[in-house]
């Protein structure tokens, strides 16, 4: 949450920072701000609203300067208004800071600073931090880097910060704990950002700071890293980035979400490419091959995740138990970390996260590691905190997911987890070689079946138009498709602001059925494989209460087609692979309904993509 960008080098900083902020807007879009140093003074513009609003506001300041910092905010402390926007000045006006994270003990520090004569214009924790740095710098008579280090040792919380001192205009000091921070290294220039997207067209070389590391990014000097706690020197690990510019642009689609929905055939294929070797009857995944014993000897698998990734975890629970006969528990990371769970060194914890930065998931990993569990990460963002914190893992190869609503991350997470379950099933002998081979062959057909499912888009647009004014919706599914019902409901509520609930279809009669009347659209996943007859009975129950039925069915279906108000077909596949297909129409339905309601689908209100606060 919150995106930070910085630049120091030989180019004009303004366009780089503005473009960088636009690319990071998925991380928060409550307000935006920029500070530029023109060689003499700092020029600062900030405003409530989006980067587009900032561009207008910045017409009032000089846009000169080869050094600058910028911020796009997801509000934590203080409402989203101009004053609470970043960057924040220190009282002297010498220092300026941007911050992603939360300083938990800011109130006590603020009280102390007020006693010493400091004044505050905003309600933010960040303004407290920049003044603490200033106070340390003054009282201890130290340079900026050291002042930042001393100050950070007094704070509790999470941060990725960049601090600039107008008396030292050849450097920016950065530090990280809990929130991501990357430094792009160009030819005599440096870029600072929450992820690599702001600088990908300038350089492929980047250093990702580890937690509790800081760096002085200085022109003409190599990056030097230090540990914030004990000042020990750390050595920068320069990574070569694989991302390209095309991947982070809309490529002719109206929204990132739609582009990402359409990318799923490619993303699923990329995720199994090189891992699924159907002809050889093999699954090759380094993270598992090297740790097979851990999985084979595990008493159980615990899956932790949040939101959509948690739904992928629920699908995985069905797959692991069904195919590999390993007991699985799926937990919200936020609950797991605070409930003193029983974990032993015989447990394997799988953490699922698109961003790899979700604070609760990261904390759950740390807890499980302390208790001796083996941690396997399933992340999309390469080099992310969760990927680094895990003992081993497997990346999804979805490519950058920029729309705040997760789509291709979900289907690629299911793909990786299916590969993992299949591999374990084979090793454990719960699956015959023939079954295994059949499964691999079917998995290889999924990308083309997803393409087929996408062909229903025009029909889905028509259905969306019918239900766009609804105020409530129900989503029902059974077995493997119960998590898909949850995911369908989440997609709708988060981008269209229509209240929606997902339920296991049979649970409906234990309460939700009371809601059904002729105004209630009920989206039912009723594919041929997977308790079909039972779902048909559930549909009858809805119909007799005059609910509107929109069913996702297998191609050629007759029974449900007769009963439902609308049907959307998906190709036939194995029951355990149906979520990869049934989720597609539900994504498209949410997308169209949200667009028709005039909602900002890529940046829904109050949300941010990377939830780095708990
Ligand atoms: C919903 C959505 C969120 C995320 C959740 C976890 O569309 O995107 O529910 O799934 O915030 O994020 P990651 O997967 O990055 O840990």
Average pLDDT over residues 262-281: 94
DSSP letters spanning 282-328? EE--HHHHTTHHHHHT-SEEEEEE-HHHHHHHHHHHHHIIIII---E
pLDDT digits 0-9 by tens, 438-494: 999 999 999 999 999 999 999 999 999 999 999 999 999 999 999 999 999 999 999
- Strand ranges inside 194-299, DSSP E: 205-208, 213-218, 224-227, 233-234, 238-240, 276-277, 282-283
Asked if 513 and 572 sit in the same domain, the reply is yes
Tell me, yes or no, whether 607 lies in a domain: no
Residues lining ligand 1, judged by CB closer than 6 Å?
Answer: 306-309, 353-355, 358, 361, 405-406, 490, 494, 611
Domain shared by 314 and 185, yes or no: no
DSSP-assigned letter for residue 38: -
Q: Is the residue at 61 inside a domain?
A: yes
Q: Residue 614 pLDDT more than 80?
A: no
* pLDDT reported for residue 11: 97
Q: Whose CA is nearest to atom 10 of ligand 1?
A: 308
Q: Region 323-349: what's the mean pLDDT?
A: 95
**Domain check: are 524 and 447 in the same one?**
no
pLDDT digits (tens, 9 = 90+) for 386-409: 999 999 999 999 999 999 999 999
At residue 118, the pLDDT reads 98
Which pLDDT does position 75 carry in this prediction? Answer: 81
**Tokens 């079909």, located at residue:** 532
CATH number at 441 reads: 3.40.50.10490
Can you give the pLDDT at residue 178? 86
Residue 613 pLDDT exceeds 80: no
| Band (280; pLDDT cuts 50, 70, 90) | confident
Statement to judge: residues 292 and 396 lie in one domain: yes
Residue with tokens 């130290």: 142
DSSP strand pairing (276-277 vs 282-283): antiparallel
DSSP class per residue in 375-422: EEEEESSTT-HHHHHSSEEEE-------SSS-SHHHHHHHHHHHHHHH
What's the pLDDT tens digit per position in 127-181? 999 999 999 999 999 999 999 999 999 999 999 999 999 999 999 999 999 889 9
Q: Which two tokens stand for residue 553?
A: 């069915």
- Regarding whether 69 and 203 lie in a shared domain, the answer is yes
Co-location of 76 and 184 in the same domain: yes
Among the candidates 189, 222, 247, a domain finishes at: 247
- The reported pLDDT for the residue numbered 392 is 97
Identify each DSSP E strand in 26-149 by its residue range.
31-37, 42-48, 67-73, 88-89, 95-103
Cα angle 200, 38, 59 (rounded to 5 degrees) comes to 80
Domain assignment present for residue 614? The answer is: no
Residue 495: which of 523, 468, 476, 519 has the closest Cα? Answer: 468
**Residue of 2, 379, 473, 599 marked catalytic:** 2
As a whole number of Å, the end-to-end CA separation of the chain is 11
- Is 609 designated active site? yes
Residue 341 lies in a domain: yes
State the pLDDT at residue 78: 75
Final residue of a structural domain among 453, 471, 500: 453
In angstroms and rounded to an integer, the radius of gyration of the C-alpha atoms of the chain is: 25
Say how far residue 594 (Cα) sits from the centre of its chain.
20
Which is higher by pLDDT, 80 or 24? 24
Confidence tier at 297 by pLDDT (50, 70, 90)? very high
Is residue 613 a part of any domain in this protein? no
Do 459 and 402 lie in one domain? The reply is no
Q: Whose CA is nearest to atom 4 of ligand 1?
A: 307
Domain annotation covers residue 477: yes
What's the 91 CA to ligand 1 centre distance in angstroms?
A: 38
Q: Is residue 412 part of a domain?
A: yes
From 26, 178, 337, 358, the mutation candidate for ligand 1 (largest count of ligand atoms within 8 A of CB) is: 358
Together in a domain, 106 and 90: yes
At residue 367, does pLDDT exceed 80? yes
Burial grade of 480 (CB within 10 A; 0-12, 13-18, 19 or more): buried
Q: Which residues form the domain of 561?
A: 455-602
Q: Which helix (H) or strand (E) holds 349?
A: strand 347-353
- State pTM to two decimals: 0.85
Whether residue 449 is found in the same domain as residue 461: no
What are 524-556's pLDDT values in tens digits? Answer: 999 998 789 999 999 999 999 999 999 999 999
Residue whose CA is at the smallest distance from ligand 1 atom 8: 406
- Total domains, the chain: 3
Whether 256 and 217 map to the same domain: the answer is no
Q: Are 417 and 351 found together in one domain? A: yes
Do 202 and 235 lie in a common domain?
yes
pLDDT digits over 62-85, tens only? 999 999 999 999 887 778 899 999
CATH (domain of 81) = 3.60.20.10
Q: pLDDT at position 46, please?
A: 97
572-587 burial code (b ≥16 CB/10 A, e <16): bbbbbbbbbbbbbbbb
Q: State pLDDT tens for residues 553-572.
A: 999 999 999 999 999 999 99
Mean pLDDT of the chain: 94
Q: Which of 210, 230, 247 is the last residue of a domain?
A: 247
Inside any domain, residue 587:
yes
Q: What is the pLDDT of residue 122?
A: 95
Biggest CA–CA distance in the chain, Å, is 80
């Amino acid at each position: 949450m919150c995106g930070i960008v910085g630049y120091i080098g030989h180019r004009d900083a303004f366009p780089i920072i503005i473009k960088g902020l636009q690319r990071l807007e998925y991380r928060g879009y409550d307000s935006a701000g920029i500070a530029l140093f023109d060689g003499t003074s700092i020029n600062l513009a900030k405003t409530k609203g989006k980067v587009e609003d900032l561009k207008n506001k910045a017409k009032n300041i000089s846009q000169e300067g080869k050094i600058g910092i910028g911020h796009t905010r997801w509000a934590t402390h203080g409402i989203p208004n101009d004053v609470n926007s970043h960057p924040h000045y220190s009282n002297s006006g010498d220092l300026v800071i941007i911050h992603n994270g939360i300083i938990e003990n800011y109130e006590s520090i603020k009280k102390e600073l007020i006693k010493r004569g400091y004044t505050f214009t905003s309600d933010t924790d960040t303004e407290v931090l920049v003044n603490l740095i200033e106070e340390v710098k003054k009282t201890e008579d130290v340079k900026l880097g050291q002042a930042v280090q001393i100050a950070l040792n007094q704070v509790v919380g999470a941060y990725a910060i960049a601090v600039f001192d107008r008396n030292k205009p050849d450097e920016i000091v950065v530090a990280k704990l809990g929130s991501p921070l990357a430094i792009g290294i160009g030819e005599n220039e440096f870029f600072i950002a929450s992820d690599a997207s702001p600088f990908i067209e300038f350089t492929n070389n980047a250093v990702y700071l580890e937690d509790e590391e800081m760096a002085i990014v200085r022109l003409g000097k190599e990056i030097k890293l230090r540990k914030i706690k004990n000042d020990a020197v750390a050595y920068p690990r320069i990574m070569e980035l694989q991302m390209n510019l095309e991947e982070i642009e809309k490529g002719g689609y109206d929204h990132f979400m739609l582009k990402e929905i359409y990318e799923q055939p490619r993303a699923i294929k990329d995720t199994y490419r090189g891992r699924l070797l159907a002809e050889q009857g093999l699954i090759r995944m380094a993270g598992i091959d090297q740790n097979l014993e851990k999985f084979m000897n595990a008493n159980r698998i615990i899956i932790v995740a949040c939101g959509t990734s948690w739904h992928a975890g629920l699908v995985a629970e069905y797959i692991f138990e069904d195919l590999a006969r390993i007991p699985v528990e799926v937990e919200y990371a936020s609950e797991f970390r605070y409930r003193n769970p029983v974990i032993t060194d015989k447990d394997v914890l799988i953490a699922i996260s698109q961003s790899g930065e979700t604070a609760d998931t990261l904390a759950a990993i740390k807890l499980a590691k302390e208790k001796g569990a083996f941690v396997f990460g399933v992340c999309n963002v390469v080099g992310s905190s969760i990927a680094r914190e895990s003992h081993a893992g497997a990346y999804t190869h979805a490519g950058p997911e920029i729309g705040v609503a997760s789509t291709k991350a979900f289907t690629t997470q299911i793909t990786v987890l299916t590969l993992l379950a299949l591999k374990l099933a084979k090793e454990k002998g719960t699956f015959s070689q023939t079954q295994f081979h059949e499964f691999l062959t079917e998995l290889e057909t999924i990308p083309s079946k997803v393409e087929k499912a996408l062909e229903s888009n025009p029909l889905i647009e028509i259905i969306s138009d019918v239900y766009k004014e609804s105020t409530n919706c129900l989503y029902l599914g059974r077995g493997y498709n119960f998590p898909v019902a949850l995911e369908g409901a989440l997609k709708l509520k988060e981008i269209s602001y229509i209240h929606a609930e997902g339920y296991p279809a049979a649970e409906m009669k234990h309460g939700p059925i009371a809601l059904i009347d002729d105004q209630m659209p009920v989206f039912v996943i009723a594919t041929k494989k997977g308790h079909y007859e039972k779902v048909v009975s559930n549909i009858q129950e809805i119909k007799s209460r005059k609910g509107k039925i929109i069913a996702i069915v297998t191609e050629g279906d007759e029974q449900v087609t007769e009963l439902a108000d609308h049907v959307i077909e998906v190709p036939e596949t194995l029951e355990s692979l149906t979520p990869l297909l049934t989720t597609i129409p539900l994504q498209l339905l949410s997308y169209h309904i949200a667009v028709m309601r005039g909602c900002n689908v890529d940046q829904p209100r109050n949300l941010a993509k990377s939830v780095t606060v708990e």
